[in-house]
Amino acid sequence: MDSAVSKIVTILSYIISFTFIIAMITASVMLKDPEIILPEVAAMAIAMWVYREAGWIRQPPKIFLAPSITAAIGFVVNQLHITYIGKVSLTLILMMLFLRIIQSNLGPSIATGLLPVVTNANEWSFIISVFIFTFILMLGVLVFKLNIGLEKKVKIQYKYMLVFLVLTFMWIGLCGLVGYQLAVIPPILVVVFESLQKPMYNGKMAFKQGLVLTISATVGTMLYFAIDSWILVTLFDMILMLILLRIVGIRIPAVYAFPLLPFVFPDDIVAMLPLGSLITCVFLFVLVLMYKKLEMKRRGKVMQM
C-alpha cells in the first residue's frame, strides 16, 4: 500500500515539475523574451520537488536567496567593460565568496550566476524571472513541507569551493589558449561542484555523469533544430530525460537543465553544444576523479598513522 502511494506521489511530483518548467517556456514564448528562460530552474524543480534532495531543500529561504543574489552578481558583472574570461572569472570568485558568507553550498546558484554572463543578459526581465521562479520553488518546498525532518545545518566543506575554482580556472585557461568558445557550460559546472563534495567518487560515476550530460545536450540540440515549437520541444525533452536517467540508473538534476540551453544560447554555439559538452565533461570529470583519488589516498595515510 505504502509503495503504491509513494509511486502516485512521485508521478504527481513529476507532473507538477514538468508543468512548472513548461509554464516558464510558455511565458517566454508569449512575451517573446528568451531571457525569462532559466535552464537551472528545471533542474531545481526536479531536485527539490521530485528527488527531495536534502542538500538543496534543508534551508528553504536559501532556495530563493542564493540563486537570486548570484544571478544579480552575474548580471552586474556582465555590464562591466572587461573581457569575457574576466567576467566569468570575477563572477565565479564573487559567487564563491557570497556562498561562503551565507554558509551555503547550493550548486544551482553557480548556474544562475554564470547564465547572464554566458548569454550576455542585459534585460531586467532576467533578474525578475529568477526572483519569481526561485520564490515559487521555495514556496513549493514550504507548502508541501518537503524539508520537514531534515537537519537545518550540516557541516560544509568550504575547501571544495577553492578546489572548484582552481579546476574551473584550469579549464577556462586552457580554453582561452586554444580559442575554444564553449569554456563555460553552467549545468556541467554545477555537477562538478556537487561531485567534489561527494564523500565517495569513482570512475563509474564520472562516466555515467559524462554520458547522460552529453546525451542530454545532444537530444536537446537535435529537438531544438528539428521542431519549431519551443513548448513541444520542452515537453519531449523532459520526458526523454526522465527515460534516460531511468535507463542509466542515476539521478542528475542538471540533465533536465541541459536541453533548455539551446533556447538561450546563440544558434552557432548551440550547434557546438553536443561535442562541446563531451569535451568539457571528459576534461573536468577526469580532473575531479584525479582530485578525489588523491584525497582518498591522503585520508588512507592519515588513518594508517
Our separate counts of H helices and E strands in the chain read 15, 0
Q: What is the pLDDT along the chain (305 residues), one digit of tens a residue?
A: 467 778 999 999 999 999 999 999 999 999 999 999 999 999 999 999 999 999 999 999 999 999 999 999 999 999 999 999 999 999 999 999 999 999 999 999 999 999 999 999 999 999 999 999 999 999 999 999 999 989 888 888 999 999 999 999 999 999 989 888 788 999 999 999 999 999 889 999 999 999 999 999 999 999 999 999 999 999 999 999 999 999 999 999 999 999 999 999 988 899 999 999 999 999 999 999 999 999 988 877 766 66
d(CA 274, CA 210): 11
Listing DSSP states for the chain in one string gives: -HHHHHHHHHHHHHHHHHHHHHHHHHHHHHHT-GGG--HHHHHHHIIIIIS--HHHHSSHHHHHHHHHHHHHHHHHHHTSSS-HHHHHHHHHHHHHHHHHHTT---THHHHHHHHHHHTT--SHHHHHHHHHHHHHHHHHHHHTTTTTTS-S-----THHHHHHHHHHHHHHHHHHHHT-S----HHHHHHHHHHHT-S---HHHHHHHHHHHHHHHHHHHHHHHH-S-HHHHHHHHHHHHHHHHHHHT---THHHHGGGHHHHS-HHHHTTHHHHHHHHHHHHHHHHHHHHHHHHHHHHHHHH-
d(CA 182, CA 192): 16
Residue that is written with C-alpha cell 553544444 in the block: 273
Q: What pLDDT, on a 0 to 100 scale, did the predictor assign at position 234?
A: 98
3-class SS of residue 4: helix
Q: What pLDDT, on a 0 to 100 scale, did the predictor assign at position 183?
A: 86
d(CA 215, CA 127): 30
| Verdict on whether the full-model pTM lies above 0.85 | yes
Q: What is the 3-state secondary structure (H, E, C) of 51-108?
A: CCCHHHHCCHHHHHHHHHHHHHHHHHHHCCCCCHHHHHHHHHHHHHHHHHHCCCCCCH
